Amino acid sequence: MYSVSKYIHIENGIIFENGKQIVDSNTTDFSEFIKQVYRNFEHIYPKFYKMDDLCKLAYIASELVLKDETEKDIALLFSNNEGSLDTDNKHQQSIQNSNAYFPSPAVFVYTLPNIAIGEVSIRHQLKSESAFFIASEYQTDYMHKYTEHLLRTNKAKKVLCGWVHCLNGAYKACFYLVETNGILEHNNQNIKQITK
């Protein structure tokens, strides 16, 4: 039997930690909001500003869950329903006009959703199992089974799971950490509640 030890919900300028509101920003604009949250962290990580919006959101959600974490054997299972489409569109716009064809390398490197996993892994020095799933909605039962399989077969000591959505200014992140001990039983009902 495994448990959820911590969970985070980020949406519309508001952040909940374990169901309790910890941030209520005066802006819902993603760019302003995410910078406000980042600047409140003690940890300085200049590369944050270079990330695309999907990675910034995954970075902040992971930071909130893992800020006091010492375990490094943490698998990462992220998911959303649009991959890196937000950045794919930006890249496409930069190559639309053959007379002004200046694709940005810094944009292009984020045209894969699993780069978000890479950014979190680099930040927290994780060399663990990871996967980024794209589905129309959070696959609760599949994620539950996969997470418990990783833990039961000692592929990871803990698993950070999350839904991270960022498209056309709309954003939402629901992240939760699964391990042996915690505050909620790791079951489908609780996962649905956390990711709703």
Q: Which residues bind another protein (CB under 8 A)?
A: 35, 46, 49-50, 102-106, 109
State in angstroms the smallest separation of the CB of 103 from another protein. Answer: 8
Give residue 169's identity as a one-letter amino acid code: G
112 φ/ψ angles, rounded to the nearest 5 degrees: -150, 130
What tokens does 163 get? 């839904």
Closer CB to another protein, 1 or 44, in the complex:
44
Closer CB to another protein, 1 or 101, in the complex:
101
State in angstroms the smallest separation of the CB of 13 from another protein. Answer: 20
Q: Which of 56, 14, 23 is nearest to 165 (CA)?
A: 56
Closer CB to another protein, 106 or 170, in the complex:
106
State in angstroms the smallest separation of the CB of 88 from another protein. Answer: 17
- 35 CB-near residues (< 8 Å, 6+ apart): none
Give the strand pairing for 158-167 and 170-179.
antiparallel
Closer CB to another protein, 47 or 72, in the complex:
47
